[in-house]
């Protein structure tokens, strides 16, 4: 009979923290990142483009606050991916990333895995609720529907919440100086970006969005 205790023990045995890392521990995060960004970013972007003929990717290269935040958020995600690749292909490189040994324990690893799995399920559900309104960045040209169903009934920004959660899970599994900086930078950038988007939605939807703000919290 499989119990939670047995499952947890198996996960921890596969995620060894010594130099001879098991294949599961080496490649789990890499596979996770590919699945996360493939299903949560690339697929819905392609699906929206095919359904509407509109490119939902709206981050540019101008010097505006919106594009500046977008550029730095991409750098944060790229940095996190580089760390994941280093763990996958150079498992002994963690010492160069200034590990936080106080947090290097089986408990935090297990918690991190649970957080990551929650994040991807949460984001995929939120993506399904957005449908054709999905955008990466602010679309100044096309007015999209104000999504208020599903997870958007309990959070005005469920996808950003899921990405914040993902970065926390990464830090719990690989606690070092780089993932800590990624976590903090990602948090700050997400907080700024959602405020920019909320200002835009207020201008676009007016009283409908103001009423929505009163009913639903920004995060939870």
Domain ranges of the chain: 22-215
Q: Average per-residue pLDDT in the chain?
A: 89
Nearest residue to 135 (alpha-carbon basis) of 217, 200, 191: 200
Where does the pLDDT of residue 12 fall: very low under 50, low under 70, confident under 90, or very high at 90 and above? Answer: low
CA 128 to centroid of chain Cα atoms: 16
pLDDT of 19 above 60: no
> pLDDT tens-digit profile of 134-148?
999 999 999 999 999
User: How large is the average pLDDT for residues 100-106?
Assistant: 88
| Confidence label for 104 from pLDDT (cuts 50, 70 and 90) | confident
Q: pLDDT (tens digit, 9 = 90+) per residue, 151-196?
A: 999 999 999 999 999 999 999 999 999 999 999 999 999 999 999 9
Q: Which fold has domain 22-215?
A: 1.20.120
User: Residue 182 in 3-state DSSP?
Assistant: helix
The pTM assigned to this predicted structure is: 0.86
- Mean pLDDT, residues 119-140 taken together: 94
What would the mean pLDDT of 20-38 be, rounded to a whole number?
79
57: three-class secondary structure by DSSP: strand
Q: Which helix (H) or strand (E) holds 123?
A: helix 106-130
Split at pLDDT 50, 70, 90, the class of 16 is very low
Tokens of 38: 């493939």
The average pLDDT across 49-66 equals 92
Nearest alpha-carbon partner for 174 in 17, 14, 10, 5 = 17
C-beta neighbour count of 165 within 10 angstroms? 17
Quick one: pLDDT at residue 20? 42
Say if residue 77's pLDDT is above 90.
Answer: yes
Q: What are residue 141's phi and psi, to 5 degrees?
A: -95, -35
């Amino acid at each position: 009979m499989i119990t939670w205790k047995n499952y947890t023990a198996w996960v921890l045995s596969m995620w060894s923290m010594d130099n001879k890392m098991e294949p599961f521990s080496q490649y789990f995060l890499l596979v996770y990142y590919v699945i996360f960004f493939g299903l949560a970013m690339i697929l819905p972007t392609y699906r929206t483009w095919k359904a509407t003929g509109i490119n939902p990717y709206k981050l540019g290269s101008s010097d505006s606050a919106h594009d500046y935040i977008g550029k730095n958020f991409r750098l944060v995600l790229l940095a996190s991916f580089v760390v994941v690749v280093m763990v996958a292909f150079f498992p002994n490189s963690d010492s160069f990333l200034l590990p936080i040994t106080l947090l290097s324990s089986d408990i935090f690893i297990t918690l991190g895995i649970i957080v990551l799995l929650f994040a991807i399920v949460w984001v995929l559900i939120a993506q399904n609720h957005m449908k054709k309104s999905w955008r990466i960045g602010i679309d100044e040209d096309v007015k999209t529907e104000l999504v208020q169903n599903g997870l958007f009934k309990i959070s005005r920004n469920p996808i950003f919440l899921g990405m914040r959660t993902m970065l926390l899970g990464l830090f719990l599994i690989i606690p070092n100086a780089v993932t800590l900086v990624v976590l903090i930078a990602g948090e700050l950038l997400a907080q700024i970006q959602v405020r920019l988007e909320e200002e835009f939605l207020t201008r676009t939807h007016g009283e409908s969005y103001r009423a929505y703000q009163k009913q639903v919290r920004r995060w939870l």
